[in-house]
Amino acid sequence: MNNIGTFSLLYPDSGKTSCKNLSAAACHDLGLDNICKKITDDAKEQKLIMRILSEMTSDPETTRYRQEIFANLLRLPQLRKRLSELFDKVEFIREYGLLHIETDEKLGLWHLMHRLEELSDYIKCVEDMKECLSGEDITAAGLAAFRSHIEELYNDACFAEMKKDIAAIKAETSDIQSVTVGINVNERFEAVSMGLISVNDKPFKKSNIFSSFSDALASKDKIHKGSEWNGDMHYQPVEQRRDPGFLAFLEKTAAVMSDAKSPMDLKTKSTLVSVPMGDGINNTTFHLENVINKLLDNLVRRLRDTITKYASVVVADISGIIPEFVYYIRMAEFIGTCMEKGFPFCEARISGSGVSMNALGFYNLKLAVNIPDHNEIVRNDLVFDKEHTVYILTGANRGGKTTATQAVGLLFVLAQGGIYVPASEFEFCPADCIYTHFPADEDKTMDLGRLGEECIRFKEIFGGCTSESLLLMNETFSTTSFEEGYYIARDAVRALAKKQVRTIYNTHMHKLAADASELGSDGAGVSSLVVKSEDGKRSFKLEVAPPDGLSYAMDIAKKYGVTYEMMIGG
């Protein structure tokens, strides 16, 4: 084959785009593991989807390339269904068929013929894929490129020629009705070798001239002169009977010496074979394949050469692209089901302005998949731009701070994976990576203490961040000593603003949020973001505003009667 090169439905340049992988911690913090379990029950598919979503690239063309493919497959459920059926057939052939077996010589004619049947099925699958993707509804550049790839593969691999080869060989083997075999004997009438004389397209018919082979031997004038066959020979079938002498003759005849030289002068090369002794004709069927493989050596070799020529094409090319299709198909099925339930989704737009994110009516997908009624979800708006690069998010406990922080990260992950996002509108500049700094497990903080562990981890994350990154922080530097946490957090926010890293810092340090305007840099602004509350009730709505921690605490105190006036006066 010519070198067609690799093809990818994930990267327009076949994987040349540089990527950064989300850490396992980030995937967990964003809830991707839980979402993948909602998308599919298959553990292998969960890992596949997780791997693709966690490969981040800020290349806008890659995002557009994926979006077009996803949109096409979401809009065409029948195409998804047909492709899934074809992929299942290809995978079945690859996993359970004979195509993956490398050694043909030991398998024999029967296995080779079955491999040809599998090749025929595979070619039919490829042709059906071409037909599926030939409709006018296919508008995605990636799917059109895949169709061209299949056509190029089909032509370059000579699939049409393969079809003819298979048809010819199957026709040739289906015409075999009998085999003429010559047996050489010594002076004691012991068989010394066996060879192929001809392969015939008609079966032998029982001769009426002789009643048995022994009758032929009794008449000397019936012994044929020489070893050349003139076609004037008659066929007498061997009947199974209780004649010890006759069975003994068969046993001797079956004892062929494969290493003996044949005196037969055939026009084609003779093939010698050893035949098992002592079982008469009882096991003829059992031994037939081995005998035929040896005697039809040329035909078997031709079958083997044909399969060797095409096997690598059959196993490798299409099978390698199937996982990428599975990713799109499973995601389309999942998003389509959510949309049918009433949850809003939209296609993300690549930003062409100074706004690096503008999300309208967004919500947390991880939370939504566990809510039966779409009317119960709370939707929010948020913007990342020069004035709002770092957000310090405050609010009540269990007020939705972590949920909102997580939701923003999921918007980027899904959008850059080409998938519709849970929002009314979403415009963004793709992130080169998403970093999360959430509280670590207690066993990871035993040696350094929580604050020491958080400082080390933040420094590592900060070193990897760029102005194209997204950083999500959850209760970072929150320790028993407010002063310690506050001053470390203050410097961290100033450094993030200086580096222009898009950040949401979810914290209980209201003083940090109150000082937000002082922490900005010439290139980026720091803003206070709050989860609103009214009369102590959580609304889960976000608003760019000064922190209202004190007023919220007063509302709670009044609700439960623990203000000074209420306690003393009561």
Q: What is the pLDDT of residues 260-314, one digit of tens each?
A: 333 333 333 334 444 444 444 445 444 555 555 555 566 566 666 666 566 555 5
Judge whether 28 lies within some domain. Answer: yes
Report how far residue 1's alpha carbon sits from residue 20's, in angstroms, rounded to the nearest whole number. Answer: 34
Task: Tell me whether residue 486 is in a domain.
Answer: yes
Q: Could you tell me if 251 and 290 lie in one domain?
A: yes
Reference 514, options 489, 495, 535, 481; nearest CA is 489
Cα angle, residue 490 at apex, residues 489 and 495 outer, rounded to 5°: 95
65 band by pLDDT with thresholds 50, 70 and 90: very high
When pLDDT is averaged across residues 459-465 and rounded to a whole number, the result is 95
Domain identity same for 397 and 540: yes
At 2-20, the pLDDT tens digits run 444 578 999 998 666 789 9
pLDDT of residue 460: 95
pLDDT of residue 180: 75
Return d(Cα 289, Cα 110) in angstroms, integer.
Answer: 7
Question: Which is higher by pLDDT, 125 or 388?
Answer: 388
Backbone angles phi, psi at 285, to 5 degrees: -60, -40
Task: Give residues with Cβ within 8 angstroms of 164, minimum separation 6.
Answer: none
Final residue belonging to a domain, choices 313, 332, 351 = 332
- pLDDT category of residue 559 using cuts at 50, 70 and 90: low
Name the amino acid, one letter, at 116.
L
Q: How far apart are CA 315 and CA 313, in angstroms?
A: 6
pLDDT digits (tens, 9 = 90+) for 223-246: 556 666 655 555 545 444 444 444
Q: What is the pTM of this model?
A: 0.75
How many angstroms separate the CA atoms of 17 and 417, rounded? 14
Terminal CA-CA length for the chain: 91
DSSP β-bridge partners for residue 107: none
- Could you give the CA distance from residue 481 to residue 151 in angstroms, rounded to a whole number? 67
Whether 350 and 476 share a structural domain = yes
Q: Does residue 134 form part of some domain?
A: yes
CA distance 18 to 16: 6
Q: Coil, strand, or helix at residue 36?
A: helix
Of 219, 221, 224, 154, nearest to 185 by C-alpha is 224
The highest-confidence range among 188-192, 207-211, 370-374, by mean pLDDT, is 370-374
What are the Cα distances from residue 395, in Å, to 71, 134, 537, 552?
A: 38, 54, 11, 8
Asked, for residue 15, whether it belongs to a domain, the answer is no
Cβ neighbours of residue 278 closer than 8 Å, sequence gap 6 or more: 251, 254
Name every residue whose Cβ is closer than 8 Å to that of residue 436 and which is 6 or more positions away in sequence: 23, 25, 26, 29, 30, 409, 471, 472, 473, 474
pLDDT given at position 182? 75
Tell me which H or E stretch contains 414: helix 401-416
pLDDT greater at residue 109 or residue 317: 317
Per DSSP bridges, beta strands 470-474 and 357-362 are unpaired
Span of 252-266, 274-288, 359-373, 480-494 with lowest mean pLDDT: 252-266
CATH code: domain of residue 426: 3.40.50.300
Report the C-alpha gap between 82 and 308 in whole angstroms: 29
Residues 438, 382, single domain; the answer is yes
Residue type, 90: V
- CB burial readout 203-215, b (16+ within 10 A) else e: eeeeeeebeeeee
Residue for token digits 């499973």?
A: 330
Last residue of a domain, one of 284, 309, 332: 332
Q: How far is CA 58 from CA 17, 50, 70, 375, 417, in A?
A: 9, 18, 18, 34, 11
Q: How many domains does the chain have?
A: 3
- On whether residue 3 sits in a domain, the answer given is no
- Per-residue pLDDT for 352 more than 90? no
In whole angstroms, give the CA distance from residue 209 to residue 2.
61
Asked if pLDDT for residue 410 goes beyond 50, the answer is yes
Q: Residues 142, 186: one domain?
A: no
434-461 tens-digit pLDDT: 999 998 765 554 545 778 888 999 999 9
Separation of alpha carbons 470 and 429, rounded Å: 10
Whether residue 217 sits in one domain with residue 72: no
517/244: higher pLDDT: 517
pLDDT of residue 225: 60
Same domain? 322 vs 285: no
Q: Please indicate, yes or no, whether residues 162 and 188 belong to a single structural domain of this protein.
A: no
Question: Which of 72-86, 133-147, 265-279 is least confident?
Answer: 265-279
Q: Report the pLDDT value the prediction gives residue 453, as an integer from 0 to 100.
A: 87
Residues 487 and 508 in one domain: yes
**527 and 384 within one domain:** yes
Question: Do 51 and 166 sit in the same domain of this protein?
Answer: yes
Residue 88 lies in a domain: yes
* CA Rg value for the chain: 38
279 and 427 in a single domain? The answer is no
Residue 245 lies in a domain: yes
264 within some domain: yes
Domain of residue 449, residue span: 342-569
| Angstrom distances, CA of residue 240 to CA of 209, 213, 247, 279, 447 | 20, 13, 8, 11, 87
| Pairing relationship of beta strands 502-506 and 390-394 according to DSSP bridges | parallel
- What pLDDT is recorded for position 178? 75
